[in-house]
Amino acid sequence: MNTQDQSPGKPRRSLISQWNHLKEQLTAYLFLLPSILIIGIFGLFPIGYAIYMSLFNWRVTKGGFLGFDNYDKIVGDWGGLLLFLLGVALLVAAYWLWTSAFRSSSRGVVVAKVIAAILLVAVGFLLAGGWGRLMAGGDKKFWTSMMITLFYAIGTVPTQIILAMVLAYLLFQNIRGKDVFRMIYFLPYITPVVSTAVVFRSIFSPRETALANTVLSWFGAGPLKWLFEPRPFSQILFGWNIEGFWAGPSLALVTIILFGVWTFVGYNTVIFLAGLGSISKEIYEAAEIDGANAWGVFRNVTVPLLSPVTFYLFLVSFIGTFKAFNHIFVMEVPSAQGTVATASVEIFSIFYRANNYGYAAAQAIVLFLVILGLTFAQNKLLGKKVFYG
C-alpha cells in the first residue's frame, strides 16, 4: 500500500526537477547572451567576413571569385611551406626529446640528446630550405614583414618581461617613494601612443644635436641615423657583413624595439606587483631561516612562484607584438627602406594604399593562423613549466 502511494509522486518530482534544471540552464544562457552577441558581432563575424573577402578580387568593390588564388600568391611554393612546417614539427620533437623522453636511465638521456641534436641539424636545413622557397616563389614583401615581426617580438617581449620582473621586485620592497615610482613607470603605458612616438622620432633624429646622438657624443661615439638607418644593427655595432635572417634587425627596428620596451614595461611591472602580493610572507621567512640570501630568495622562491604571471604576460605580449601597428606606423620613415614594416603595417599598406581588400584580407588570415599556431605552441611547451604552487 505504501508503494502505491509513493509511485504517482515519483514522476511528478522528476518533472519538477527537470523543469528546475531547464530554468537554470536558460537563466545561465540569458546571462551569457550579451557576451555571446558582442563576441559574435565584433569578433567572430569580422573574422568570417575577412575569410569571405579573401576569396574574391576585392578592390574597393567586390570583384570576381578567385578561390584560393590570393593565398597561392602569398605562399607561391606550397612545397616550401610544407618543408618549413616539417622543420617546425621536428623542432618541437627535438625539444620534447631533450626535455622529456628517455629520462629513466643515464644512457637513455644520452641517446635522447644525440637524437635531438641530429633533429636540430635537420631542422636547420628544412627551415632554411623552406623559407628560401617561400621567399623566392611567394610574396617576398609579406614574408619579409613576417621576419621583421619576429625580430620585433624577440627583441621586445623577453626584455620587457625581465625588466618588469626586476622593477616589480625592487618596488615591492619597503623603499621610500615606491608609490611615486610605480606611477612613473606606468605612465608610458597610459600616455597616447601617437604623441610618444612623435617624441621618440625627435629623440632619435639623425641630427647631431638630437638627444640620443648627444648622449653618444659623451662617450666619444659618432652620431647615428637611428630610425633612418636600414643597415643591420650587427653590421653597425660589430662590423659583420651578414645577409638574410642572421643579419638581424636594422638599427631603425632596434630603435622601435626600445620604444616598445619603454611603453609596456610599466604595465608588466604592475601585473608582477599583483603577483608578488599573492605570495605568502611565510615562504620568504622560511627561505631566510634556511640561510638563503637575497639572490637565492629571488631565484628559487620569487621567480618560480611568479611563473603563472610570467607565462600570461609572455603569451599576451607575444600576441601583441604580432599585432603592433600604431607606433610602428608613426615612427616608420622611407629612409628605413621597409626594414621596420611589420606584418600589420604591410597588410595596412595593401589594404589602404593599394586598395586591394581581398589580398589584404588573405594576408590577415595568414597572420591570424601564424599567431594561433605560435600561441598553441607556447601554451604546450611553456605551459608545462608553470608552477602553480
Query: What is residue 1's predicted lDDT score, i.e. its pLDDT?
Result: 45
Q: Determine the pLDDT at residue 8.
A: 56
Domain-ending residue, one of 119, 138, 157: 138
Domain match, 107 and 151 both: no
User: Whole domain around residue 119: which residue ranges?
Assistant: 76-138
Q: Which of these, 246, 240, 242, 228, lies nearest to 339 by C-alpha position? A: 228
Which pLDDT does position 9 carry in this prediction? 57
Residue 19 lies in a domain: no
Residues 321 and 197 in one domain: yes
Q: In this structure, are residues 43 and 368 in contact, taking their beta carbons and an 8 Å threshold?
A: no
Please count the structural domains in the chain. 2
Q: 272 and 306 in one domain?
A: yes
- DSSP output for 155-182: HHHHHHHHHHHHHHHHHTSS-TTHHHHH
Boundary residue ending a domain (138, 153, 168): 138
Same domain? 365 vs 310:
yes
Determine, yes or no, domain membership for 29: no
Flag whether 126 is in a domain: yes
Cβ contacts of 233 within 8 Å, gap of 6 or more = 248, 249, 250, 251, 253, 254
- Are both 129 and 154 inside the same structural domain? no
245-264 pLDDT tens trace: 888 899 999 999 999 999 99
What is the pLDDT at residue 31?
A: 92
94 and 187 belong to one structural domain: no
Is residue 329 included in any domain, yes or no? yes
End of a domain among 115, 138, 161?
A: 138
* Residues of the chain under the 70 pLDDT cut: 1-13, 100-108, 389
Contact 245/147 with Cβ under 8 angstroms? yes
What CATH number is associated with residue 230? 1.10.3720.10
Query: Cβ neighbours of residue 57 under 8 Å, at least 6 residues apart?
Result: 63, 64, 65, 66, 358
Same domain, yes or no: 196 and 286 = yes
Residue 241 domain flag:
yes
Q: Are residues 365 and 340 in the same domain?
A: yes
The answer on 155 and 85 residing in a single domain is no
Q: Is the residue at 346 inside a domain?
A: yes
225 found inside a domain: yes
Q: What is the pTM (predicted TM-score) of this model?
A: 0.87
pLDDT digits (tens, 9 = 90+) for 6-40: 555 566 667 778 888 888 889 989 999 999 999 99
